[in-house]
Amino acid sequence: MGVALRRSALRSLVFAFLAGSVFCAPLRAAAGDLAAQARALVGAEQGVYVEAEDGSVLVAQAAERAVHPASVSKVPTTLALLRKLGADHRFATRFAAAGPLQGGVLQGDLVVEGSGDPFFVDENALLVSIALHDQGVRRVAGDVAVRGPFLFNWESAGAAGRLRGALAGRIPAPTWSAVRAVEAARSDVPAEQPSLAFGDAKLPGAAAPTLLATHRSQPLVPLVKALNGYSNNIFAPFADAAGGIAVVQAVARESVAPALRDEIVLGDGAGASPRNRLSPRAAVALLRALGDELAKSRHTLADVLPVSGVDEGTLRHRLDGPGERGHVVGKTGTYGDYGASALAGALRTRDRGVVYFAILNHNVPIEVARKRQDAFVRALLASQHTDAWPYQRDEAPAFTRAEVVRARP
């Protein structure tokens, strides 16, 4: 009896140690299977799903329960954007003259026709300023008139006025220095930051404004890579480029098995809506669908999602130890107001191909949830023979991948 009690006490101590080990090094595979480690490291009530490339299920814990996924919602949005627009799509922003150009003065408004480029920022405005300066525009008698969806420095509200200020030269000097350093070899780049003077003239606009220049964003793949890395919520209006959130949800549901479709609910494309719901197994199915879509253009998940310990953003300082850095590609999700914290991603293994995983925590303190997620992924890494993703981080500033095409006279 005493021996039995001692054994029971020993088992309790072992379980307590395992349950508290979320902040310690993960268990080796020999100490227990992944399902036991999911219970011990993440928590028995939390959603965990792991699936190998051949469809073998390695862990399924609360796998069908749909909870708020926070920014993992950006995975289906990324999928819908790629499917509708294509990997090489560039968002065009056209700059046109609503009046004749006389003696360096545009006799009317500068018309900006947007198409929803989410990455038009100060540096891009400078590229446009250089093009307009090269074409002899020194003053605009009217104002900046925006047509269509247009964001400047991540915001749509007041975008026209803020763009006018940028074109008038109100951009920090270091930003101009950075742009000029890259563009200095070109003969059309002035020594000083170009600026336009604006007036307040209310001139009748031309029936058909004359195109001056077209700014073309960086291609879609590196664009969504940057936004996913920092988990920018500009994805919410960005989803409109795919046709709106109803289309994004439809694409997501069509991309998974029928049994999983009700486990995908999207109120927005970024993760801020309280309506958003994903199950761990649906999140994994969407990652697989995203990988298949990327393969059509010879890309991988590492080209649109951050790589741990390599890319700037939410995974820069997570899973970045020996044997981890570069081995995990994934999407984080955090929304404290909804009690949501998530990590979904993939590993490259020698024995099982790509292994996909999703950990969707609910009602767990954020920092605790992140440590539990990392502890389980470390256990997953320890159970497999993994290789780093064949990915080289692009160190070039984002604006260098954009281009401005001048209109022919």
- Does residue 22 register a pLDDT over 60? no
Q: Where are the alpha helices (DSSP H) in 56-197?
A: 74-85, 122-134, 159-167, 173-183
pLDDT-based confidence at 10, cuts 50/70/90? very low
Does the residue 48 lie in any domain? yes
Two structure tokens written together for 74: 């950006």
Going by the DSSP 8-state scheme, the letter that residue 270 receives in this structure is: S
pLDDT in tens, 82-139: 999 999 999 999 999 999 999 999 999 999 999 999 999 999 999 999 999 999 999 9
Q: How far is CA 403 from CA 94, 192, 216, in A?
A: 12, 20, 5
pLDDT in tens, 144-154: 999 999 999 99
- Does residue 265 register a pLDDT over 50? yes
Q: What is the mean pLDDT of residues 15-38?
A: 54
Two structure tokens written together for 243: 């046709």
- Quick one: 234 and 363 in the same domain? yes
- Quick one: 151 and 207 in the same domain? yes
- The count of structural domains within the chain is 2
Confidence (pLDDT) at 26: 42
- Does residue 256 register a pLDDT over 90? yes
Distance CA(349)–CA(58), nearest Å, equals 14
Does the residue 9 lie in any domain? no
Say if CB 79 and CB 242 are below 8 A apart.
Answer: no
Confidence (pLDDT) at 409: 65
Q: Where are the beta strands (DSSP E) in 222-352?
A: 264-265, 277-278, 329-335, 340-349
- Quick one: 285 and 273 in the same domain? yes
pLDDT in tens, 303-330: 999 999 999 999 999 999 998 999 999 9
Q: What is the mean pLDDT of residues 154-169?
A: 96
3-state helix, strand and coil shares in percent for the chain, rounded to the nearest 5? 40, 20, 40
Where a domain ends, among 200, 218, 236? 218
- Quick one: 245 and 373 in the same domain? yes
- Quick one: 121 and 53 in the same domain? no
pLDDT in tens, 321-365: 998 999 999 999 999 999 999 999 999 999 999 999 999 999 999
Residues of the domain holding 137? 92-218
Which CATH number goes with the domain that contains 188?
3.50.80.20
- Quick one: 68 and 161 in the same domain? no
- Quick one: 132 and 206 in the same domain? yes
The pLDDT mean for the chain works out to 91
- Quick one: 286 and 348 in the same domain? yes
Confidence (pLDDT) at 206: 63
Q: How far is CA 4 from CA 11, 12, 17, in A?
A: 11, 12, 20
Confidence (pLDDT) at 18: 40
Confidence (pLDDT) at 392: 92
Confidence (pLDDT) at 189: 86
- Does residue 1 register a pLDDT over 50? no
- Quick one: 96 and 165 in the same domain? yes
Confidence (pLDDT) at 254: 98
Distance CA(307)–CA(346), nearest Å, equals 10
Count the neighbouring beta carbons within 10 Å of the beta carbon of residue 45.
13
- Of the given ranges (47-51, 184-188, 267-271, 354-358), which has the lowest mean pLDDT? 184-188
- Of the given ranges (47-56, 188-197, 198-207, 386-395), which has the lowest mean pLDDT? 198-207
pLDDT-based confidence at 188, cuts 50/70/90? confident
Does the residue 23 lie in any domain? no
pLDDT-based confidence at 205, cuts 50/70/90? low
- Does residue 217 register a pLDDT over 60? yes
- Does residue 31 register a pLDDT over 50? no
- Does residue 141 register a pLDDT over 60? yes
Which CATH number goes with the domain that contains 254?
3.40.710.10
- Do you know the residue count of the chain? 409
Distance CA(58)–CA(39), nearest Å, equals 13
Does the residue 20 lie in any domain? no
- Quick one: 259 and 383 in the same domain? yes
Count the neighbouring beta carbons within 10 Å of the beta carbon of residue 214.
19
Distance CA(306)–CA(288), nearest Å, equals 16
pLDDT-based confidence at 249, cuts 50/70/90? very high
- Measured in Å, how far apart are the chain's first and last C-alpha atoms? 97
- Quick one: 114 and 261 in the same domain? no
Does the residue 291 lie in any domain? yes
- Does residue 203 register a pLDDT over 50? yes
- Does residue 20 register a pLDDT over 60? no
Where a domain ends, among 192, 218, 244? 218
- Of the given ranges (167-171, 178-182, 354-358, 401-405), which has the lowest mean pLDDT? 178-182
- Quick one: 186 and 207 in the same domain? yes
Confidence (pLDDT) at 5: 35
Does the residue 404 lie in any domain? no
